Chains A and B, each alone.
Chain A
Amino acid sequence: MPKITQGAFSFLPDLTDDQIAAQIQYALDQGWAVSLEFTDDPHPRNTYWDMWGTPMFDLRDAAGVMGELKACRTANPDSYIRLSAFDSTRGWETVRLAFMVHRPTQEAKFRLERTEGPGRVQHYSVVRA
């Protein structure tokens, strides 16, 4: 059964909640704002995931994020959930860490589709199987 691999740690076995909490704590200790996103369309070209609430600023402890993650999992059990940590430091101003924290039991499948263009040029696209 192939796994969707996106973001950090995705080639590893799924992180346990304790490991996720430790990663969140690291991000918070760096002063990054953590946010949660979910989607039922994990296509690599889909950059528009739905946000679960607003990004969480001013948090000090991972327990707050874990509570939101739990709520998001309950509400969207069949979605992919991604956690990202945004660094607002001048010069960075970007996501410093992003990884998946939840995947559905039935993973999405993709296959390669070939289309022949003019002059036998091959066009490739990744489509949902």
Chain B
Amino acid sequence: MTIGTIETGQAVPVVGAETPAASARIDLKALYHDTQIDAVLAELDAALIGLKPVKRRIREIAAYLLVDKARRSLGLAATPPTLHMAFTGNPGTGKTTVALRMASILHRLGYVRKGHLVSVTRDDLVGQYIGHTAPKTKEVLKRAMGGVLFIDEAYYLYRPENEKDYGQEAIEILLQVMENQREDLVVILAGYGDRMETFFSANPGFRSRIAHHIDFPDYEDAELVAITETLAAAEGYRFDDGARAALVDYVTARRRRPSFANARSMRNAFDRARLRQAMRLFEADAPVDGEALRTITAAEIRASRVFSD
């Protein structure tokens, strides 16, 4: 007796048997261009510095969805694919930014109807008294329908130390919608790696309903410098050569200090450098030209507290 016939004693139909539709040909490349997904992916590559493994995973997901779409058009796929994702990584590694782009990718591929991103945290989902949580969570879910629901710091939903916590109620509603309305919305959970791991082991329902776990690595020093320069360029600033060298030192020093938050730390550093630059120009009390207004010098970076010890 073979494995396939143990249960019923009848022959099991061969999966993937030749159907009339299956012989039709689909040009995946043409489909790829039709969805303009290459534009989004190219933009992703250009706009986001580093994050190689993340980009590769997104490409994989995009390819999978494209193939799924082709299979669907031939009637080979029945149920919609599970697209719920978990983004784990340290603070400031670009989880929210990527989620925004993910919404746009899923929209282009036709897996969400509207392609908007609703970003929430525990406060938006969990109520303060009995009977407050369900309407709140449902309200958020309704707003996210047709798009992507991004739950930042998702592990706060579950508070094991308090058994009366209303977070559990929100989790149950979420799980139900994630399972039953897969075609209506995609849920992305985000948070720091180790705490998400605890969260998933306490809520096995979530782990099994999430198909794609994407881990965001920390940026390397050179990448952080490049990110800061991109940030500055977007705001119409530039670093002179001395400032760029100072920035490299800054990244090394900042990384050793507590509460290092990757790109977010760099944004804050840039914001403070801007303040110092303004102060320098103001106190110099001399006419300034465009170049002076644009340039951040080494002094502004070196003045940081990070270098003080």
Contacts and interface: CB of A to CB of B under 8 A. Distances in A.
Given A60-B116, A63-B146, 9 more contacts: A60-B114, A61-B184, A62-B145, A63-B181, A64-B142, A64-B143, A67-B138, A67-B142, A67-B181
15 contacts: A60-B143, A60-B146, A60-B147, A61-B146, A61-B147, A63-B145, A63-B185, A64-B141, A64-B142, A64-B143, A64-B145, A65-B142, A67-B138, A67-B142, A68-B142
Interface string B189-219: 0000000000000000000000000000000
B114 A61 contact: yes
A58 B141 CA distance: 11
For the complex of A and B, the 9 pairs showing the least CB-CB separation, nearest first, are A61-B146, A64-B142, A63-B145, A64-B145, A61-B145, A63-B184, A60-B114, A60-B146, A58-B143
Among A53, A56, A58, A64, residue most surrounded by chain B Cβ atoms (within 10 Å): A64
Interface of A: 53, 56, 58-65, 67-68
Contacts, number: 35
Interface residues of B, number: 14
Contacts of B146: 60-63
A59 B116 CA distance: 11
A65 B146 CA distance: 12
A102 B97 CA distance: 42
Looking at chain B's contact residues, is the secondary structure mostly helix, strand, loop, or mixed?
Answer: loop
Contacts of B143: 58-60, 64
B104 to A, nearest CB: 14
Contacts of A63: 145-146, 181, 184-185
A64 B143 CA distance: 7
Contact of A61 (B113, B135, B138): B113
Interface in B119-150: 135, 138, 141-143, 145-147
Nearest to A65: B142
